[in-house]
Structure 1
């Protein structure tokens, strides 16, 4: 990627370096660039800039010092009485970027990789080295994720929505996480309709180590019975009730007395929606006369009796999640219009069938049985409980040989298209294709510099 004899110097800018999907992408992208070949035959130099990073709540690569880490602006609030989050996200990023500029750090870098917030790209573009490039990774337009209810919120969101479109377009290179996101960006950002948007898929490790103790725990939880699996955050938009409804109909239709359903995923008892939605799902089980069991957290002493049909496991470890995926008959991935969806890949990596809605990212990751009978890896079916129930019954009728063949196809598909190697290749190609641009606003440097000077004085006073 570097055309000279020196390793590439790259700055990553990310708002909050926690343990979510966007953060996993940032870490994987940083690793991909760090280990990418260059003429010097040395590792490329990576620094991650963020407004917040808790060393006890971040990925291992960040905690163990795989990259240089700079945290600027964590003292700034993230909201005001639970409101104006986007305003404070902008201010926190602005402070971080100004620190990079005023310290001279920004001009060290050959490449600046930004994701989630594009607002400060014009300022970065103005102050970076002329030969440096800015790459923006778009997970999904923020304007479509944020609420717009209320007169005041609608007013300031209108400003930030327009600002998001303009600032996104000032990156030298824009990449997206899926074809679905690319279509959505072009539909909602009219000024970017003719701008090249390369797809760089997130990745999953090609292999994982399964812990024997986690495998044994799964056996105890389901009493060695076969089970379907749903993994999602406990949020209403994830439509987890579809899995329960389809399973209930399957039991009613087949009278299967041993098949179970395990529902797991992200859960935080500080979040009201997580708590209330879990309660709704439990009530749905009661209404459908399904015997249920709930275990929150890693309490190894709590296990269901053999009569339990639906097992809720909110907030589990990665090890237990992987063990569940390795033992399930099929993953039931219930969200509609998911931007990408990493969980189906985690299941496919272990050779498992995936049932997903026929919208969004899963259309790119899952090869549908009804379209490609010889090469399918799962099912993308309309989010209808009867249709999903029929799929459950179909899968239970598959032969061992059929299951084995699908497992091999799934593993190979992940390796070919969604592995670390595949992501590194497409990301490096996008970087190689990028060139530094000069935008019209950069010709108004005197005015911009005046604004920057005022901001610099404010930052200097804060530092004192």
Structure 2
């Protein structure tokens, strides 16, 4: 048994959080002792496994500011994570000391963890280089980010092992951190399929749901396009709205009346962008005269998300150059064809014309795929079946768990060898 600690900034709802929770579930199922240490955890805005006692969760440093004068979010995030790293390294009760620390998102904690008196092995999971988020910023922002970007590169290189979530991210990692000799391994995220199977079985058994609308504004005979992603501008929800408007011009009026777009996004009132972008999408919906066809949902629970996936007819995935994207796998596992952009991680998960469509970042291409799936039920059902098989064959939870378990055990064995050299 290996004692593993996941060190994560904010255990909210998002792809990074889903990844670390699934990784924790995988290691726990392999017999390891797993816990979380975080700067923030809201039991009403998180994945249920971190709130229902599945894992011990300890919160430190939440009293530290998340921003200063509406700015300096990155700086504050680094300070908060450093605080957590110092706690884990020097103030953690002896009974809670661990063998391996898995951290992600913020690498500044890595050198602090290496100084810990019990010297745990450090595994860093790189979702995407953080510094690229400021690549197009103005001069002052780039000057502010320069020391943070330098820290990111040099502290990632101090981890005992680095993983990335896709071949696309691996290429970006190597292009971005050119001074590092580190060559990360690719570990694709997976789904905790046992939970999805349980939820699907529950939905099938509760036949009453078949008589209830999925939402008050979604009639029973609706054709549902589902878009799941956080309410952030980079997630490109506007593409789904513009494509739906184009679809309305392509379909007969009676057919378009059946069409509904449900956008179900992570929403945190502490995040200014979430609040602002939600309002922007409401305004865009009104501008495009789609109020009768669009439903905006905020932070659906796991159960609600499964229900949406179960009843939807296809999944829309709109971010461009997304580093991986777990949502397409969720859609395919629920036998839904996926319409995504032909860039980034989705090119490694979605097979064009087989499990869905990979489109250009324009409403004509995206809306055309939506039109084809509406018109061709046989194609839609076939793509759904092929998508489900692809997840089982290429992205199974068992394969993910086996590989992560192997990495953790090898990492610990290497550390033991070094101690005796």
TM-score if structure 2 supplies the norm length? 0.85
Task: Give 1:167 deviation, angstroms.
Answer: 0.5
CA distance in 1, matches of 2:109, 2:417: 16
Q: Answer yes or no: is 1:34 the counterpart of 2:34.
A: no
Structure number with bigger Rg: 1
- Measured after TM superposition, the shift of residue 432 of structure 1 is 4.2
Name the residue aligned to 1:204.
191
Find the counterpart in structure 1 of residue 230 from structure 2.
233
Distance 2:276 2:63 in 1: 32
1:262–1:313 CA contact under 8 A, matched in 2 = no
Give the structure 1 partner of residue 242 of structure 2. 245
> Partners of 2:270 and 2:108 in 1: how far apart?
30
1:137-156 equivalence runs, <5 A: 137-146=125-134, 149=137, 153-156=141-144
User: Equivalent residue for 2:110?
Assistant: 121
Matched with 1:167 is 155
**Cα distance in 1 between the residues matched to 2:355 and 2:16:** 25
Match among 177, 189, 195 for residue 165 of structure 2: 177
Kindly state the Cα deviation for residue 149 of structure 1 after the two structures are TM-superposed: 4.4
Going from structure 1 to structure 2, the CA distance change for 1:219 and 1:87 (only over 3 Å counts) comes to closer
Q: Which residue of 2 aligns with 1:450?
A: none
| RMSD between aligned residues | 2.9
**Which residue pairs with 1:414 in the alignment?**
391
**CA-to-aligned-CA distance 1:225-277 (integer Å, 9 cap, x gap):** 22322223333222222222222222322325233131322245665544554
User: 1:383/1:438 Cα in 2 relative to 1: closer, same or farther (>3 Å)?
Assistant: farther
Work out whether residues 22 and 192 of structure 2, in 8 Å CA contact, stay in contact via their aligned partners in 1.
no
Counterpart contact for 2:47–2:302, Cα < 8 Å:
no
Decide which of 344, 352, 356 is 2:328's aligned counterpart: 344
Instruction: Give the drift of 1:332.
Output: 1.7
- Change in CA separation of 1:147 and 1:79 when aligned onto 2, cut-off 3 Å: farther
> Is contact 1:76-1:92 (8 Å) kept?
yes
CA–CA separation in structure 2 for the residues paired with 1:60 and 1:330: 26
Return the alpha-carbon distance in structure 2 between the equivalents of residues 58 and 228 of structure 1. 25
Structure 1, gaps ≥5 residues long:
1-6, 37-42, 293-307, 370-375, 440-464
SS in 1 for 2:213: helix
Task: Report which of the two has the higher share of helix.
Answer: 2
Compute the displacement of 1:90 (Å).
Answer: 2.3
Question: Alignment length, in residue pairs?
Answer: 402
Tell me which of 298, 303, 321 is aligned to 1:319: 303
Measured after TM superposition, the shift of residue 30 of structure 1 is: 1.5
Residue in 1 aligned with 2:401? 424
Alpha carbons of structure 1 residues 219 and 152: separation in structure 2 relative to 1, 3 Å: closer
Q: 1:461 maps to what in 2?
A: none
2:228 & 2:389 partners in 1: Cα distance? 22
Within 5 A, what are the aligned runs for 1:74-89? 74-89=62-77
Map of 1:396 onto structure 2 = 374
248 and 15 in structure 1: CA distance in 2 versus 1, 3 angstrom threshold: closer
Shift of 1:69: 3.0
Alignment TM-score, normalising by the size of structure 1: 0.78
Where structure 2 has 5 or more consecutive residues not aligned to the other structure, the ranges are none
Describe the shift of the 1:71–1:269 C-alpha distance in structure 2 as closer, same or farther (beyond 3 A).
Answer: closer
Q: Give the distance between the partners of 2:283 and 2:39, measured in 1 at CA.
A: 40
Equivalents in 1 of 2:294, 2:90: separation in Å? 57
Q: Which residue of 1 aligns with 2:100?
A: 111
